[in-house]
């Protein structure tokens, strides 16, 4: 072996081990970075054209990453975000309904019918009649508060959807930028492992917003689609917006509103499902209960008789609303607010408690009104007011419990997956320090070879 060749091998070796030390140092400095994937230097023999060895080279820098774990983390990150958002919003709905509590609708409805029971024992009492008006106003106001509260939740969800889709759009733009940089680095033979870590972290964050699928091509570029619609690759990215289509909140491409993404997971799914399905379902239940409550009270009240005024009692007076057209009171409910008949508000004597005309001592209608509380109605699926109300609350409660359990299980599984990922891809300081010593000794040995080669040249020069 010639002295020049010895120099060449030594220099190659020093360069390779210097690069190995750089990679190892980078591992050590990122030991506490959860988004970092450990890198491993793959050394290989350098050979000349004739097959003889001419030193060592860094053949590749491997990124230690378990792709299967990555796929599972993306999946459960999406499920966790869905359950978290759903649970948070349903908690707000529960706060609006406030059951069980003294402010619950059940108490107001119960008090209203109890007030009729009290009047049935003393039909002439003006204070008891005023009490009925007060209880009716309380029940009507509580219905209004609940319905307005649910509408406010829907408005909040719509704003949240717009905010979330803006974050998704920003993420897709950033993702396309990473893809371009990775593609450029790979084609130039450069190390793109750091960029891939940052891109994968971004994909995980995006999966918390909406369901997505990822395909990594041979260049290392991640092609991402959202709900079956192209999201981003190394060549560009798509942008989305929220639209109301047939009463449902949908995510569509800004380039073509007919291209609708099928959202079925992530925070955005919780938002759109609650906005389009769950909240309308709860509102419909309360509105139906409100309508049946008003109609049944009016039906009975119309058949009753007021206290005698001007020598005769009055009948055909709706308790809620004003005039009656085809047997139905007009304006009994306006914008979610139950309206008590103005003639009753101005004079409680117009409350029809008597079953017999011109008989103030009769409380037959008041008694029947009190019995409505326990009656079952076809319009309420053959349930009473309270049973139907409980059914509506049970649906909400079951949804909340399901969301809470989904959050807990997803959080546990996700943490386990992250622990496995850390174990597989994370940095072991003990292992890396061992590598530092190993590469440092190899570097020192290569440097000594240069010194040996130099001494050999000096010897030859002294012989001349």
pLDDT of residue 449: 83
Q: How far apart are CA 243 and CA 121, in angstroms?
A: 57
CA-based nearest residue to 414, from 114, 76, 47: 76
Residues 310-338 pLDDT 10s:
899 999 999 999 988 877 788 999 999 99
Q: What is the mean pLDDT of residues 101-112?
A: 94
Name, of 3-7, 147-151, 217-221, the range with top average pLDDT: 147-151
Q: How far apart are CA 353 and CA 343, in angstroms?
A: 15
**pLDDT beyond 70 at 2:** no
Q: Roughly what angle, to the nearest 10 degrees, separates helices 385-425 and 105-121?
A: 170
Query: Among 39-43, 234-238, 450-454, whose mean pLDDT is lowest?
Result: 450-454
* Bridge partners, 383 (sequence order): 377
Backbone angles phi, psi at 32, to 5 degrees: -105, 15
Residue 410 C-alpha from the chain's centroid: 13
**pLDDT beyond 80 at 53:** no
Give the count of alpha carbons within 13 A of 191, CB side only.
18
Q: How far apart are CA 221 and CA 201, in angstroms?
A: 14
| Dihedral sign for Cα atoms in the order 410, 415, 417, 421 | positive
CA-based nearest residue to 94, from 403, 409, 408: 403
Residues 193-227 pLDDT 10s:
999 999 999 999 999 999 999 999 888 889 999 99
Residues 359-382 pLDDT 10s:
999 999 999 999 999 999 999 999
Q: What is the mean pLDDT of residues 426-442?
A: 92
Mean pLDDT over each residue of the chain, to the nearest integer = 93
Two tokens, residue 399 = 């949804």
Q: Note if the pTM is more than 0.85.
A: yes
How many residues make up the chain in this entry?
464
Residues 219-272 pLDDT 10s:
888 999 999 999 999 999 999 999 999 999 999 999 998 999 999 999 999 999
pLDDT of residue 464: 63
Q: Write out the chain in H/E/C secondary structure.
A: CCHHHHHHHHHHHHHHHHHHHHHHHHHHHCCCCCCCCCEEEEEEEEECCCCCEEEEEEEEEEECCCHHHHHHHHHHHHHHHHHHHHHHHHHHHHHHHCCCCCCCHHHHHHHHHHHHHHHHHCCCCHHHHHHHHHHHHHHHHHHHHHHHHHHHHHHHHHHHHHHHHHHHHHHHHHHHHHHHHHHHHHHCCCCCHHHHHHHHHHHHHHHHHCCEEEEECCCCCEEEEECCEEEECCCCECCEEEEEECCEEEEEECCCCCCEECCCCHHHHHHHHHHHHHHHHHHHHHHHHHHHHHHHHHHHHHCCECCCECCECCECCCCECCCEECCEECCCEECCEECECHHHHHCHHHCCCECCCCCCCCCHHHHHHHHHHHCCEHHHCCECHHHHHHHHHHHHHHHHHHHHHHHHHHHHHHHHHHHHHHHHHCCCHHHHHHHHHHHHHHHHHHHHHHHHHHHHHHHHHHHC
**pLDDT beyond 60 at 1:** no
| Dihedral sign for Cα atoms in the order 354, 356, 361, 365 | negative
Query: Rounded to whole angstroms, what are the CA distances from 452 to 259, 289, 446?
Result: 71, 96, 10
């Amino acid at each position: 072996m010639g002295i020049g060749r010895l120099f060449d091998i030594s220099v190659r070796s020093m360069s390779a081990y210097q690069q190995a030390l750089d990679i190892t140092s980078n591992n050590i400095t990122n030991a506490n970075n959860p988004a970092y994937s450990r890198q491993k230097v793959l050394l290989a023999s350098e050979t000349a054209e004739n097959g003889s060895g001419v030193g060592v080279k860094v053949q590749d820098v491997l990124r230690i990453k378990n792709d299967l774990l990555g796929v599972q983390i993306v999946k459960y990150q999406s499920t966790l975000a869905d359950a978290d958002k759903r649970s948070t919003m349903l908690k707000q709905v529960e706060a609006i309904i406030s059951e069980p509590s003294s402010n619950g609708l059940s108490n107001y409805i119960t008090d209203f019918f109890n007030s009729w029971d009290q009047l049935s024992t003393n039909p002439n009492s003006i204070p008891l009649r005023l009490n009925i008006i007060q209880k009716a106003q309380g029940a009507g106001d509580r219905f209004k508060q609940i319905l307005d509260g649910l509408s406010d939740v829907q408005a909040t969800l719509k704003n949240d959807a717009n905010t979330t889709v803006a974050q998704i759009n920003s993420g897709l733009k950033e993702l396309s930028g990473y893809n371009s940089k990775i593609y450029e680095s790979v084609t130039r033979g450069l190390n793109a492992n750091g960029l891939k870590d940052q891109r994968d972290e971004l994909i995980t964050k995006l999966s918390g917003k909406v369901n997505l699928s990822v395909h990594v091509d041979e260049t290392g570029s991640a092609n991402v689609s959202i709900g079956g619609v192209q999201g981003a690759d190394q060549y560009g990215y798509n942008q989305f917006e929220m639209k109301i289509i047939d009463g449902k909140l949908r995510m569509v491409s800004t380039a073509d509103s007919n291209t609708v993404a099928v959202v079925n997971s992530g925070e955005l799914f919780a938002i759109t499902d609650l906005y389009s399905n769950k909240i309308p379902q709860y509102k419909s239940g309360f509105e139906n209960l409100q309508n049946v409550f008003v109609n049944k009270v009016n039906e009975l009240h119309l058949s009753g008789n007021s206290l005698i005024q001007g020598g005769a009692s009055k009948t055909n007076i709706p308790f809620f609303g004003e005039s009656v057209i085809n047997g139905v009171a007009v304006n009994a409910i306006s914008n979610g607010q139950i309206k008590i008949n103005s003639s009753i508000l101005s004079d409680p004597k117009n409350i029809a408690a008597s079953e017999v005309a011109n008989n103030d001592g009769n409380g037959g209608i008041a008694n029947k009104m009190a019995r409505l509380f326990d009656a079952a109605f076809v319009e309420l699926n053959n349930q009473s007011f309270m049973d139907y109300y409980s059914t509506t609350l049970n649906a909400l409660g079951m949804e909340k419990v399901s969301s809470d359990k989904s959050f807990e299980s997803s959080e546990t599984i996700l943490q386990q997956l992250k622990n496995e990922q850390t174990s597989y891809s994370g940095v072991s300081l003990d292992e890396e320090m061992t590598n530092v010593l190993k590469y440092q000794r190899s570097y020192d040995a290569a440097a000594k070879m240069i010194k040996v080669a130099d001494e050999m040249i000096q010897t030859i020069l002294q012989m001349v």
